[in-house]
Amino acid sequence: MDFNFDNERPIYIQLVEKLRLAIITAKYPLGSRLPSVRDLALKAKVNPNTLQKALGELESDWLIYTERTNGKYVTNDSKLVKKFRSDMAKDIVRSFISDMKNIGYSNEEIILCLKEKGEK
């Protein structure tokens, strides 16, 4: 996983994004056990408290759950993961469209551009 951080944004939010991506791309597969907080914090070179906060956020989204004394696991709910995946796709598309509009492309031109690229 890429653990480069941008110091200008809260670190825990960036951790949430990275971990969510790892779940969506099945780098952490459904139902799998996550590394311990301390191991994960070391890997990411962040403070264990910050990581704990990020995990709390994922837990409140039901993407992970805690099994008492046994550690943290990725959800088994594939629908939920798909929903987060499609939300992320929407965000990517939205930002792509806004970038294209910014350089003066019309909706038709954007669609044309996507088709051409897709056919290659």
Partner 1 sequence: MLLECKNVSKNYGRKKALNKVSLEIPEGRIIGLLGKNGAGKSTLIKLINDLLVLDEGSILFEGKPIGVYSKEHISYLPERTYLDKTMKVSEVIKLFKEFYKDFNEEKALKLLKDLDLDIETRINKMSKGMQEKLQLVLVMSREASLYILDEPLGGVDPATRDYILDTILTNFKEGSSIIISTHLISDIERILDDVLFIDKGKIVLSSSADSLRKKEKASIDEVFRRMFKC
Q: Which residues bind partner 1 (CB under 8 A)?
A: 5, 7-13, 38, 41-42, 45-50
Q: Which is nearer to partner 1, 60 or 119 (CB)?
A: 60
Q: What's the min distance (Å) between Cβ of 57 and partner 1?
A: 12
Q: What's the min distance (Å) between Cβ of 49 and partner 1?
A: 5
Encode the chain in three state secondary structure: CCCCCCCCCCHHHHHHHHHHHHHHCCCCCCCCECCCHHHHHHHHCCCHHHHHHHHHHHHHCCCEEEECCCEEEECCCHHHHHHHHHHHHHHHHHHHHHHHHHCCCCHHHHHHHHHHHHHC
Q: Which is nearer to partner 1, 24 or 55 (CB)?
A: 55
Tokens 């890429």 correspond to what residue? Answer: 2
Q: Which is nearer to partner 1, 8 or 119 (CB)?
A: 8
Q: Is 30 exposed, middle or buried (0-12, 13-18, 19+ CB in 10 A)?
A: middle
Q: What's the min distance (Å) between Cβ of 47 and partner 1?
A: 5
Q: What's the min distance (Å) between Cβ of 2 and partner 1?
A: 14
Q: Which is nearer to partner 1, 48 or 56 (CB)?
A: 48
